[in-house]
Structure 1
Amino acid sequence: MTSPTVNESTTLPDTRSRHVIERMLEGTGIVLNGNNPWDIRVRNPRFFSRVIRNGSLGLGESYMEGWWDCDRIDQMMTRLLQAGLGEQAHTPAERVMYHLQSTFTNLQSKTRAYMVGEQHYDFGNDLFERMLDETMCYSCGYWKEASNLHEAQVAKLDLAARKLDLKPGMKVLDIGCGWGSFAEHAARHYGVEVTGITISKEQAELARERCEGLPVEILLEDYRDLTGQFDRIVSIGMFEHVGQKNYRTYFDTVKRLLAPEGLFVLHTIGSNDSKVSADPWINKYIFPNGVLPSVAQIIAPTENSLVMEDWQNFGADYDRTLMAWHENFEKAWPELSQHYSENVHRMFQYYLGACAAAFRARDIQLWQVVFSHGRPGRYDAPR
């Protein structure tokens, strides 16, 4: 059954909730049932009370269920964030629950580490192959001189490789290797041997296929179980799954595995503050148990342990990357719809648009950080 469309003659069951939403939207330029691409068109009058009651979770879930539409979720969300409404994504009850969970539970323990792989990265290689570019990079591209997504992703991979100062024959560890993007690039273009680890079975299988014939080993393994020593270590888009209770363990592991003259490149999304929180909708549907680190949270566990050689922020490039993924996803949807439901379609629309908005509003960042043991001489990071 199609949900009723709200118009001038519709009597809402909760007019107070609608008035609250209207007051929140004042100054954002967003109009309920307006004609701009960023306006919210309400299809179910229960939308208002659900958002008031459940915050970000209610907003995202009601979109997935078709309770409202918006032609440009990225533009709508950007306006909300620029108006300072991002904090209202969390209801008081959700804040208390997440604080208790993150305080008394290690949400990213070994036994829980594979949850995000099973829920998101194992979602379906066919979907990600159509959404991403040929490199299968599922992280921010580097658009400094790029004109399209593929060029941006190759530039990102090569930026990390150049920061690592790779030489033929080096042994490289890729923590969170995904579908083998960096492993393939480094082995093919720099002549290094790469060990890549992932917690996703689907990623591991495809990564092995993509790296066939190259000196690359792909392991389904948790970073805490690794042994050996590597000349270089890289981690692209994985640190967001480590969690604040494990930052010290993570960096201690890197220190233990990194050769004395080695370099480590950390590529991660970052938070503007050190509060331990996660967007409720993203946490439930996209990246369970994901936590974005702050500058302070990255630096604290590396003090008197590793030397920070360089720190680069190109978070604005993630907006463009996500919108390119969105374009690819929409183009591929007629084919993907044969295997995935409309609920999945709307879930990815909301996810990609909302995340693009967060970077556009500079609510979150993208960092590449270079660490060493304190090698002699000057380090000049490529740009």
Structure 2
Amino acid sequence: MADSVPHSQQNPVFSSLSVTRQQARIRDGLQSMLAPADIKLNGERPWDPQVQNPRFYDRLCRQGSLGAGESYMDGDWECQQLDEFVSRVLSVQFDQRLQNKWVYIRNRLLGKLCNLQSCTRAWQVGEQHYDVGNNLYQAMLDKTMAYSCGYWQKARDLYQAQVAKLDLICQKLYLRPGENVLDIGCGWGSFAQYAAEHYGVNVTGVTISREQQVLALQRCAGLPVNIELQDYRSLKGEFDKLVSIGMFEHVGPKNYPIYMQTACDLMAEDGIFVLHTIGSDATRKCTDPWIHKYIFPNGAIPSLREISAAAEPYFVIEDVHNFGPDYDRTLMAWHNNFSLAWPSLKSGYSERFFRMWSYYLKSCAGAFRCRNLQLFQVVLRKKLRPLPRYTCR
């Protein structure tokens, strides 16, 4: 490789790699930034990244986390405990040093100037993420098909954790037989099925994923459950109780007011709304570029301040429950299931997809482990006074 660093001047850890002088400067600077997290490039601990191709340094320097994720997908680097690596990186706020990259600036501008979660764009995440294949999700999730954080307080395995989460929500809703319940973002029908079977309620679920609707209808056959392919902003009617599990992350700051207004309009005066959502430890201006491109297009992780501000005109916040550390354990359980099932799945997916999906699950687990991400369950009751009105944009 042209303009390479002489072998005698290279760090012996990288002696097997031919790097340009620019790559060497990036490498050395990166090592200095990683040192406070006790991470060593090509080190011997399981959380130490192993650089296989020096172009990794160029991609990281140019594109930040997007370059890091894409180069992992392409095999430029490996890490045995990627989840722990990410947890350590975020714990020293390494991600904030990448905020001046153009991909971050572009995302911030788009989020500020455009409604990335408009009525027309809302369907994109369903098509890209949730419609990737029911066989994948059936292999990765437990038999409840719950694709959100389990509640591990007394659980011994993933299934018990998800059942405990579903029952916890039912208890917070004070469900009574015969009540009509709306599930905003119902997924594959995990809550609808559980609540109808164990609490005798009628459930209407809405999703923007065709694949989810098909499987949810199959799973809930014979129960008082209706699953609609519909955006939440077009919903009509009145319901005794409302629930939204892992959907608020797709709403976006520009739509928080109309989301809360819609929920309020749909809920009976004495109703209860349980909002279950991933949350950020701080209000952020944009989502991670890699997550935006490959996993959850147009998504946005709300802070507790944003949730509270959006809810304030419409609801009284009765309770906030944070069990974010449980998502670390949930994600690692999903990754274990995914890895075990890969031999039977790989005929329908590429090796690059396997690396992408592994990176997604493990990096998110690391973010929850270091408390960069949270899991909020917020219990809301309606305010009994005139409310402001918004229109869908």
**TM-score of the superposed pair, with normalisation by structure 2:** 0.92
- Secondary structure of 2:148's match? coil
Q: Post-superposition shift, 1:52?
A: 1.1
Contact 1:57 1:280 in 2 (8 A): yes
Cα distance 1:228–1:72, how it changes in 2: closer, same or farther (>3 A)? same
After superposition, what is the alpha-carbon deviation per residue over 1:287-346, rounded to whole angstroms, capped at 9, x for unaligned? Answer: 001101111111112223211111100001000000000110111111111211110110
Comparing 51-60 with 271-280, which one deviates more in the overlay?
271-280
Q: Does 1:371 align with 2:380?
A: yes
* 3-state SS, counterpart of residue 337 of structure 1: helix
**Partner SS state of residue 114, structure 1:** helix
> Deviations 1:188-216 (Å, cap 9, x if unpaired)?
11110000000000000000000000000
Are 2:245 and 1:227 aligned?
no
Does 1:8 find its partner at 2:15? yes
The CA deviation at 1:7 is 4.3
The alignment partner of 2:45 has SS state of coil
The equivalent residue for 1:115 is 124
Matched residue, 2:164: 155
Aligned to 2:389: none
Matched residue, 1:294: 303
Letter in structure 2 aligned against 1:35 = E
CA contact 2:172–2:274 (8 Å) conserved in 1? yes
Q: Would you say the 8 A contact 2:62–2:101 is kept in 1?
A: no
Please tell me whether residue 339 in structure 1 is matched to residue 348 in structure 2: yes
Distance 1:89 1:209 in 2: 45
Partner of 1:253: 262
Q: Which amino acid aligns with 2:252?
A: G
CA distance in 2, matches of 1:121, 1:181: 15
Which residue in 2 is equivalent to 1:129?
Answer: 138
Q: CA deviation at 1:369?
A: 0.4
2:320 is matched with 311
CA contact (8 A) 2:319 2:379 kept: yes
Identity %: 55
CA contact (8 A) 2:47 2:80 kept: yes
What residue is the counterpart of 2:51 in the other structure?
A: 42
Task: Name the SS for the 2:182 alignment partner.
Answer: strand
The 3-state SS of whatever aligns with 2:17 is coil
Contact kept, 8 Å, 1:89 with 1:279, in 2: the verdict is no
Extract unaligned runs of 5+ from structure 2.
1-12, 385-393
Deviation at 1:89, TM superposition (A): 4.3
Corresponding position of 1:194: 203
RMSD (CA atoms): 1.2
Which residue identity lines up with residue 302 of structure 1 in the other structure? A
Cα distance in 2 for partners of 1:359, 1:10 equals 34
* SS at 1:217 equivalent: strand
Distance 2:111 2:383 in 1: 33
Q: TM-score, normalised by structure 1?
A: 0.94
Q: Which residue does 2:67 correspond to in 1?
A: 58
Q: Is the 8 A contact 1:308 1:370 kept in 2?
A: yes
The aligned residue for residue 380 of structure 1 is none
- For residues 342 and 229 of structure 2, the distance between their equivalents in structure 1, rounded to whole angstroms, comes to 30
Alpha-carbon shift at residue 374 of structure 1 (Å): 4.8
Partner of 2:27: 18
Contact 1:56/1:90 (<8 A) preserved: no
Aligned to 2:115, the other structure's residue is in SS state coil
Counterpart in the other structure of 1:213: 222
Cα offsets for 1:99-118 (capped at 9, x unmatched): 22111110000000000000
Distance, in Å, in 2 between the alignment partners of 1:124 and 1:372 is 37
The answer as to 2:102 corresponding to 1:93 is yes
Which residue identity does 1:197 align to in structure 2? V
Contact kept in structure 1, 2:63 and 2:102, CA below 8 Å? no
CA contact (8 A) 1:307 1:373 kept: yes
Deviation at 1:91, TM superposition (A): 3.8
How far residue 92 of structure 1 moved from its aligned partner, in angstroms, is 3.2
Paired residue type of 1:231: D
Q: Is 1:116–1:289's contact at 8 Å kept on the other side of the alignment?
A: yes
When residues 130 and 91 of structure 1 are mapped into structure 2, their CA distance, relative to the original with a 3 A threshold, is farther
Q: Distance in 1 between matches of 2:255 and 2:337?
A: 35
Task: Give the superposition deviation at 1:96.
Answer: 2.3
2:272 aligns with: 263
- Following superposition, the deviation at residue 47 of structure 1 comes to 0.8
Displacement of 1:217 in angstroms is 0.3
User: Is residue 2:150 matched to residue 1:141?
Assistant: yes
> Conserved in 1, the CA contact under 8 Å of 2:151 and 2:326?
yes
1:10, distance to aligned residue in structure 2 (A): 2.8
**What residue identity is the alignment partner of 1:112?**
R
1:112/1:169 Cα in 2 relative to 1: closer, same or farther (>3 Å)? same
Equivalent residue letter for 1:274: T
Q: Judge conservation of contact 1:239–1:268 (CA < 8 Å) in 2.
A: yes
Residue type matched to 1:200 in 2?
Answer: S
Residue 284 in structure 1 maps to residue 293 in structure 2: yes
